[in-house]
Amino acid sequence: MARVIRFHEHGGPEVLRIENVDVQLPGRGEVQIRVKALGLNRAEANLRKGAYIEAATLPSSLGLEAAGVVERLGEGVDGFAVGDAVSIIPPISMVRWPTYSEVATFPADIVVKHPASLGFASAAAVWMQYLTAYGALIEVAKLTKSDHLVITAASSSVGIAAIQVAKTVGANTIAITRTSRKKPALLELGASEVIASEEEDLEQRLKDIAGPAGVRVVLDAVGGPIFNPLTAAMSRGGILLEYGGLSAEPTPFPLPAVLGKMLTLRGYLVHEITGNKARLEAAKKFVLDGLVSGSLKPVIAKTFPFDQIVEAHRFLESNDQLGKVVVTV
């Protein structure tokens, strides 16, 4: 038996329950781990609410990131030993391969032996944020040191990861946050400029910073009305990568800017990387090299014990955090 976090109905954080569930032995090609820490993501809150791209079969567990130690190996698994410290690359399906459990089983190809310098909390905060940022910025946008990059929701774990990834290529990063409260921290984390969108004229500030060349790359997690000032400040042939949808307001299609500047507006999912073996191997090397060198360093906003999963989800949705929310087991 192991304690597992599940929900029997869609709703707010209060629907999450801790239950005792029988644990099956790992099958062929699977690795079972004793979980030590969980990294929380907005996707999990959306699944809990019934608003995710994947539908839950109730009762459902959830979770996309975890770190722990190998407890059992299924047949045909090489390269791991019982006791290895490992972390989990986000699975294609969190309903099929949930992480919110004391003991969890995963396909061996999404289990990674992370650098020994990482504690379990930091290791649980690695893969979603860095694979998302790497795939969008390095693989898709081909970010270079001559580019201006705009990052919305910049205080999120992916936002901070994007700042760090952009620094590895020397790009100029413009972090957007709602108020100036988080500005000093974002500058300390490496943002070239920070704009408080609720306190400043976003379009004008972007144009002032980027100059006549404009912003070539935008990484947006928000959507909604912000599309108009973002695209107005973009360069000819620029690309806006949308990976979220935090705004509850409709997202306009900025037709004049798209036509006049030949912009690309592109949806992006981390599954583009995790679902392709060759691309995932390149991404893993980039991330692991960055973790070892120190150019990539997870920022943890707050940790909660397993028993406080409801409070952890409330904090996740509060927008008060700077970095990753982690649950220790």
Residue 21 backbone phi and psi in degrees, to 5: -130, 145
**What pLDDT shows up at residue 320?**
87
Amino acid symbol at 255: L
**CA–CA distance, 255 with 234 (Å, rounded to integer):** 13
Q: Where are the domains of the chain?
A: 2-126+298-328, 128-271
Q: Does the pLDDT of residue 78 top 90, yes or no?
A: yes
% of the chain surpassing 70 pLDDT: 100
- Paired sense of beta strands 215-220 and 148-151, if any: parallel
pTM: 0.94
CA angle 319, 323, 324 (to 5 degrees): 95
pLDDT tens, 127-161?
Answer: 999 999 999 999 999 999 999 999 999 999 999 99
pLDDT tens, 12-32?
Answer: 999 999 999 999 999 999 999
CA angle 326, 316, 303 (to 5 degrees): 25
Q: Is the peptide bond before 13 cis (omega within 30 degrees of 0)?
A: no
Token pair of 63, please? 């979770």
Helix (H, G, I), strand (E, B) or coil at 110: helix
Helix (H, G, I), strand (E, B) or coil at 73: strand
> How far is C-alpha 264 from the geometric centre of its chain's CA atoms?
22
Find the DSSP H helices in 189-238. 202-210, 227-232
**What pLDDT shows up at residue 319?**
84
Q: What is the chain's length?
A: 329
For the domain made up of 128-271, the CATH class stated in words is alpha beta
pLDDT tens, 308-328?
Answer: 999 999 999 998 899 999 999
CA distances from 102 to 7, 13, 38, 50, 306 (A): 16, 19, 10, 24, 9
Q: Would you place residue 58 in the very low, low, confident or very high pLDDT band (cuts 50, 70, 90)?
A: very high
CATH fold label, 2-126+298-328: Quinone Oxidoreductase; Chain A, domain 1 (3.90.180)
- Tell me, yes or no, if the two domains 2-126+298-328 and 128-271 fold the same way: no
**What pLDDT shows up at residue 276?**
94
